[in-house]
């Protein structure tokens, strides 16, 4: 039973402030809630988590385009640069597993701030790194802290928003990916060209400090899960979470989702230049147009998944993605406008899958397991993405530096097969979530 001191909207465990304070709180209730279903405080939470995700994704994405500048500056090889890029993903995955047992033992706001300040410190470390070993260590440190933040954010969303709202919330939060591509990378590269490769990391640190301060001041404690008494230590909690059969099905689905997303990504630029015969000057326009459409489609897909059904949106997005991937990976020289159209449709399919599946997966764990579940799920996503990229590198090869990529079509077939299997796994999760929601509604009535 909920405490009388909790807000009753949607059964959410957000501590209410005294009414006198709420009248002066800048995110108090208003007519906005009647129109959108979200209060001002809800909108603040969505916005702050979206911008927070933006800083995390930009920190991860900005390193790859800095390679041409960074490798000669530090006198490192391509393999050493690859190690710098992958160090973040693998350290993030490992830290997520290690943190999972403790994720439900603390106020989520405090946990978020702890890891976000660690992320800021690691990013500052990158921005001050004078040589390769220091940069490599800095990326490991950044990954250790940054790898846990995403799972904490999704746990907060699950704590604060009803299942019927989470599609829209995930739609806005997923805009961080497109925003980083459209806004973050060009700005970061501009500062890198103006000063040097350290500048984008310093920029991320400055933005992140502002976000951390806003979280400290305005985000309310999120500790309702602490009222569920758990007589288990961190490692027991971790094992119990991993070993639950319905959670295992989710983790397998997450593995295949990450495989489909990361297998084609590392070689996308090389395929565009060498196979589709695009120029390097055309690539920024391609990424900006694709990212802009992704920004616009994210909230619409989220709203559609809440209204029409999360699994239906996932299914349609998956079928759309399979069709475009099979066409795209078998293309030869192609006009820029056609590549743009195919990329936009493909990314709409990808975002439809990710937004709807994220909202659906968020309903799987029990409240007492939510933090651990999200940490493990995030770790699996990170590690699976790294493994998928590595496997893709074993399949695809390029005979010479300027020749077309070979076997890129095989990646398309593998992505299509993994997507079909994921459609089946997500259907089972949807059935479980439907039964769970029906039981909770019957109990509440």
**Summary mean pLDDT of the chain:** 79
Displacement of CA 418 from its chain's centroid (Å): 19
| Spatial separation of the C-alpha atoms in residues 273 and 290, rounded to whole Å | 17
User: What is the DSSP track for 239-294?
Assistant: HHHHH-HHHHHHHHHHHHHHHHHHSSGGGHHHHHHHTS---TTTHHHHHHHHHHHH
Q: Are 314 and 443 in contact (CB under 8 A)?
A: no
* pLDDT band at residue 8 under the 50/70/90 scheme: very low
pLDDT at 25: 42
pLDDT at 114: 93
| Spatial separation of the C-alpha atoms in residues 2 and 153, rounded to whole Å | 23
pLDDT at 70: 75
| Spatial separation of the C-alpha atoms in residues 345 and 352, rounded to whole Å | 11
* 92-102 average pLDDT score: 75
Any idea which of 69-78, 170-179, 230-239 has the lowest mean pLDDT?
A: 230-239
| Spatial separation of the C-alpha atoms in residues 5 and 40, rounded to whole Å | 20
E strand segments, 216-277: none
**Residue 196 phi, psi dihedral angles, 5° rounding:** -155, -175
Q: Are 274 and 399 in contact (CB under 8 A)?
A: no
Residue 231, helix vs strand vs coil: coil
* pLDDT band at residue 256 under the 50/70/90 scheme: confident
**Residue 6 phi, psi dihedral angles, 5° rounding:** -100, 145
More confident residue, 181 or 393: 393
| Spatial separation of the C-alpha atoms in residues 152 and 160, rounded to whole Å | 12
More confident residue, 388 or 146: 146
pLDDT at 116: 94
pLDDT at 72: 77
User: Where are the alpha helices (H) located in 28-77, listed in sequence order?
Assistant: 31-36, 40-61, 67-74
Domains of the chain and any CATH numbers: 38-222+240-444 (1.20.1250.20)
| Spatial separation of the C-alpha atoms in residues 300 and 170, rounded to whole Å | 11
* pLDDT band at residue 7 under the 50/70/90 scheme: very low
Displacement of CA 251 from its chain's centroid (Å): 15
pLDDT at 342: 93
pLDDT at 182: 65
Is residue 267 over pLDDT 80?
no
pLDDT at 301: 85
Q: What is the pLDDT of residues 273-283, one digit of tens each?
A: 888 998 877 77
pLDDT at 388: 78
pLDDT at 13: 42
Is residue 240 over pLDDT 80?
no
Is residue 77 over pLDDT 80?
no
* pLDDT band at residue 118 under the 50/70/90 scheme: very high
Task: Kindly tell me the burial class for residue 422, based on how many C-beta atoms sit within 10 Å of its own C-beta (0-12, 13-18, 19 or more).
Answer: buried
pLDDT at 5: 34
User: What is the DSSP track for 70-99?
Assistant: HHHHHT--HHHHHHHHHHHHHHHHHHHHHH
Claim: this prediction has a pTM higher than 0.75: no
């Amino acid at each position: 039973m909920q405490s009388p001191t909790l807000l009753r909207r949607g059964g959410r465990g957000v501590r209410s402030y005294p009414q006198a304070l709420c009248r002066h709180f800048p995110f108090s209730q208003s007519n906005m809630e009647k129109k959108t279903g979200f209060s001002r405080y809800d909108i603040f939470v969505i916005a702050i988590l979206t911008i927070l995700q933006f800083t995390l994704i930009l920190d991860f994405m900005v390193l790859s385009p800095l390679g041409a500048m960074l490798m000669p500056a530090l006198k490192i090889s391509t393999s050493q640069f690859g190690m710098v890029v992958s160090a973040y993903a693998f350290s993030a995955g490992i830290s997520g597993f290690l943190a999972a047992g403790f994720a439900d033992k603390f106020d989520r706001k405090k946990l978020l701030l702890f890891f976000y300040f660690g992320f800021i410190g690691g990013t500052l470390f990158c921005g001050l790194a004078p040589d390769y070993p220091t940069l490599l260590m800095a990326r490991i440190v950044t990954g250790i802290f940054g790898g846990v933040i995403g799972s904490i954010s999704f746990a907060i969303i699950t704590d604060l928003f009803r299942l019927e709202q989470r599609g829209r919330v995930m739609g806005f939060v997923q805009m961080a990916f497109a925003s980083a591509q459209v806004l973050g990378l060009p700005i970061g590269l501009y500062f890198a060209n103006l000063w040097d490769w350290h500048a984008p990391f310093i920029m991320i640190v400055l933005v992140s400090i502002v976000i951390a301060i806003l979280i400290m001041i305005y985000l309310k404690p999120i500790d309702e899960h602490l009222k569920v008494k758990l007589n288990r230590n961190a490692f027991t909690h971790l094992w119990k979470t991993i070993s639950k059969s319905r959670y295992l099905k989710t983790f397998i689905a997450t593995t295949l989702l990450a495989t489909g997303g990361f297998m084609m990504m590392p070689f996308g630029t090389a395929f565009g230049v060498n196979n589709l015969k695009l120029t390097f000057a055309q690539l920024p326009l391609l990424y900006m147009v694709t990212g802009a459409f992704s920004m616009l489609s994210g909230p619409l897909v989220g709203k559609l998944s809440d209204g029409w059904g999360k699994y239906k949106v996932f299914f349609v997005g998956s079928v759309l993605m399979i069709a475009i991937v099979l066409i795209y990976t078998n293309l030869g020289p192609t006009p820029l406008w056609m590549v743009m159209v195919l990329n936009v449709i493909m990314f709409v399919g990808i975002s439809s899958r990710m937004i709807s599946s994220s909202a659906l997966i968020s309903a799987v764990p029990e409240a007492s397991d939510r933090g651990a579940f999200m940490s493990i799920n995030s770790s699996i996503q990170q590690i699976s993405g790294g493994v998928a990229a590595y496997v893709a590198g074993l399949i695809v090869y390029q005979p010479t530096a300027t020749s077309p990529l070979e076997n890129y079509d095989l990646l398309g077939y593998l992505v299509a097969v993994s997507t079909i299997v994921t459609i089946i796994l997500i259907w089972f999760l949807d059935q479980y979530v439907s039964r769970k929601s029906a039981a909770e509604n019957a109990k509440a009535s």
